[in-house]
A and B are shown apart, each in its own frame.
Chain A
Amino acid sequence: MMLSIKNLHASVDGKPILRGIDLEVKAGEVHAIMGPNGSGKSTLANVLAGRENYEVTSGSVHYLGENLLELATEERACKGIFLAFQYPVEIPGVSNIYLLKAAVNARRKYQGLDELPAVEFLKLVKEKVKLVEMKEEFLHRSVNEGFSGGEKKRNEILQMAILEPRLAILDETDSGLDIDALKIVAKGVNTLRGPQRAMILVTHYQRMLDYIVPDHVHVLAHGRVVKSGDKSLALELEERGYGWIEQQAEEIAAAVTG
């Protein structure tokens, strides 16, 4: 098992958000997590990535056999967890390529390897820039500064393609993308798909799942996985909306507390 989440409860600023998540992800699988706004999707992504102030109050998370919750944020990253941010952050004055190099070498250092020689690094970056159909000039611009929404998302995929994570979590990478950009993102993701890797696609719409076909689909509501299924569940959600799911979730919640 690559990732095993059991009865995970988490609070943000003292407010309980995740209320008992169970999820198992095997290597080679792609899981889609859907759900209405505010259901806790980003919170789950942030908890897995180890964001400060996201406090796990009970439950467990194991990643490649290790207790993930004991690892520091950067250790998780160095061990292959990658989060494509819903809102990628701007870092003025730091060029994209500089951050990429720092990220690549941070991981190599963690693995006890020397820094990647500049020539090899450049070769790698140029290859991946092509994959996500980005202009090379973006490499020399400040990280995400003045990027359009779509460019920011594509930049996340570029970073992912270069870092080649074991477990990639994409938080609404599809939202705000036009169809061409969506296809490019999907290409980046599909290229990375492989028996050694797993992906969690957080999405609000099923549109992206036409291009990246998931093995499993889960629906989150009020901090719980309220329904799991295959690709057809995503289509059903598209047709029926989230209302019925939320209603079910409320009934479950009432039953639990009652």
Chain B
Amino acid sequence: MNSTVSDLDELVKREYEAGFVTDIESDTLPPGLGEDVVSIISAKKNEPAFMLEWRLQAFRRWQKMQEPGWAQVKHPAIDYQAISYYSAPKQPGDGPQSLDEVDPKLLETYNKLGIPLEEQKALAGVAVDAVFDSVSVKTTFRETLAEAGVIFCSISEALQEHPELVRKYLGSVVPTGDNFYAALNSAVFSDGSFVYIPKGVRCPMELSTYFRINAMNTGQFERTLIIADEGSYVSYLEGCTAPMRDENQLHAAVVELIAMRGAEIKYSTVQNWYPGDEQGRGGIYNFVTKRGACRGDNSKISWTQVETGSAITWKYPSVLLEGDNAIGEFYSVALTRHMQQADTGTKMVHIGNNTRSTIISKGISAGRGQNTYRGLVKILKGADNARNYSQCDSLLLGDRCGAHTFPYLEVSNPTAQVEHEATTSKISEDQLFYCMQRGLSEEDAISLIVNGFCKEVFKKLPMEFAVEAQKLLDVSLEGAVG
């Protein structure tokens, strides 16, 4: 297996394709964080007074909080005063009203990333909100969506145009003091997406947000809020990339989902932040709080994530199953290579009767990557006939990487049915030889086997993105194995 190990190395060394920097003038706040900075951010966005209060209250909570220490990740202490909390590409006046007013350099950036912002060039049936550093630069297909009553805009715009909706739901799933990073985000979040699907509406397009970090020494703190009113449906996808830099950058997002009675939200992530180099230099610290509330009966929230990027991923997309018969799902592929560390999983909290949850987690470790699944299934006393099925599979490529599984179970109702399966395997030499005997190169054989390993998760992604995810995995694996 010696050649396999060296091929693995090759595959792992593969370059990061989204690593370029856009040379654009920015309006960037100097590093540092205090109440003044929070106020400036709020003022820059011309926010209603309640928002500033909300932010300041979060900031005061944050100052009293500690970084969580329980995750299986290691990193040097983060100096929160060394980070700039706001950076926006300079644009005339109030920001672009039409595409012609968007800086061509930004359009080019998104084109290069394969996300054209011109509607006629867009992927069929997908509307995009493009967030560059701290601000949203363009949301496509707004008119088309408005005809269906769907609101899809940046959260800054939502605060101007629908302040009552934002006020009602913001922080209702992830309270400002939920955890250290969520509190920080609540204080300084700059932009993100806002979605509202009215009663009974099936959103006519896939919605997606593309996050790009460009500026140096800035953090990205985006906030996403999705509300699916009774009987509605929406499928939403986020993608993320950043330039290759030797310094680590902080990305601390909060995503809140609310599904009312009979509503369904499908939230997919293809996370490809810069992972850092082979020696572990640079890369994004991805500390993210994602949580959905199945508020109404018969509602459903489904998280699907493909995590290939970031130096560190700390992320547990969760579902609060409040309504009766509510369904929560978590499908995850997490790949760690180089020196990447991922501590990711989910929390399924069963509160209503007959609630069901499914967890499928596929961890792939290569190089010196460390991959941890951490999941909690909690069944409250009042939740009769709750069911959970969890399956956590780990695949190791090479012998310098690691996989860890921490499934936590808290069951307070005797009618609960909970099933957990876990496997850890190495890519088998038999499988490789079999594929190579059929003519596949070792690299292609590995990619085929790994893709097979991830199949159950990939098939949950919207079609266009499943192909993207598969390609991304190929690129990430190239030189990683074999």
A residues touching B (Cβ–Cβ < 8 Å)? Answer: 49-53, 73-74, 76-78, 82-83, 85, 88-94, 98-99, 102-103, 106-107, 110, 142, 159, 163
Contacts and interface: CB of A to CB of B under 8 A. Distances in A.
B21 interface: no
Interface string B396-434: 000000000000000000000000000000001111011
Interface string B446-482: 0011011111100000000000000000000000000
B18 interface: no
Contact of B456 (A51, A88, A91, A93): A93
Given A52-B4, A74-B436, A106 B454 contact: no
A92 B455 CA distance: 9
A50 B455 CA distance: 29
A94 B449 contact: yes
Given A93-B453, A102-B448, A159 B431 contact: no
B456 A106 contact: no
A49 B448 contact: no
Nearest to B450: A93
Contacts of A82: 437
A102 B451 contact: no
Contact of B439 (A51, A74, A88, A89): A74
B438 interface: yes
Q: What's the dominant secondary structure at chain B's contact region?
A: helix
A102 B438 contact: yes
B438 A52 contact: no
A73 B3 CA distance: 12
A51 B452 contact: no
A73 B482 CA distance: 13
Nearest to A110: B439
Given A52-B433, A53-B1, A159 B456 contact: no
A77 B437 contact: yes
B1 A52 contact: yes
B209 to A, nearest CB: 29
A14 to B, nearest CB: 14
B441 interface: yes
B47 interface: no
A73 B440 CA distance: 9
Nearest to B425: A92
A73 B436 contact: yes
Nearest to A94: B452
B440 A103 contact: yes
A91 B433 contact: no
B433 A51 contact: yes
Which interface residue of A52, A73, A88, A102 has the most chain B CB atoms within 10 A?
A73
A50 B433 CA distance: 9
Leading 10 A-B pairs by shortest Cβ distance: A93-B452, A93-B455, A94-B452, A106-B439, A103-B438, A89-B434, A77-B439, A73-B436, A74-B436, A107-B439
A91 B435 CA distance: 9
Nearest to A142: B452
A102 B411 CA distance: 46
B444 interface: yes
Contacts of A163: 438-439
Contacts of A93: 451-456
A159 B454 contact: no
A241 to B, nearest CB: 32
A94 B448 contact: yes
Interface of B: 1-4, 428-431, 433-442, 444, 448-449, 451-456
A83 to B, nearest CB: 5
26 contacts: A52-B2, A52-B433, A53-B1, A74-B437, A74-B442, A77-B437, A77-B439, A82-B437, A85-B434, A89-B430, A91-B434, A91-B449, A91-B452, A92-B453, A93-B451, A93-B453, A93-B455, A94-B448, A94-B451, A94-B452, A98-B448, A99-B448, A102-B435, A102-B448, A103-B438, A110-B439
Contacts of B4: 52
B452 A103 contact: no
B33 to A, nearest CB: 46
Contacts of B430: 89
Contacts of B431: 89-91
A49 B439 CA distance: 11
B466 to A, nearest CB: 13
Contacts of A98: 448
A74 B436 CA distance: 5
Nearest to A88: B434
A53 B430 CA distance: 12
Contacts of A91: 431, 434-435, 448-449, 452
B102 to A, nearest CB: 38
Contacts of B452: 91-94, 142
A77 B429 contact: no
Contacts of A53: 1, 429
Nearest to A80: B439
Given A91-B452, A93-B452, A99 B1 contact: no
Nearest to B454: A93
Contacts of B439: 74, 77-78, 103, 106-107, 110, 163
Given A52-B1, A99-B435, A106 B440 contact: yes
A159 B455 contact: no
Given A52-B433, A93-B456, A77 B449 contact: no
A131 to B, nearest CB: 18
A83 B444 contact: no
A77 B273 CA distance: 38
Given A51-B433, A52-B1, A89-B431, A99 B438 contact: yes
Nearest to A104: B439
Contacts of B444: 102, 106
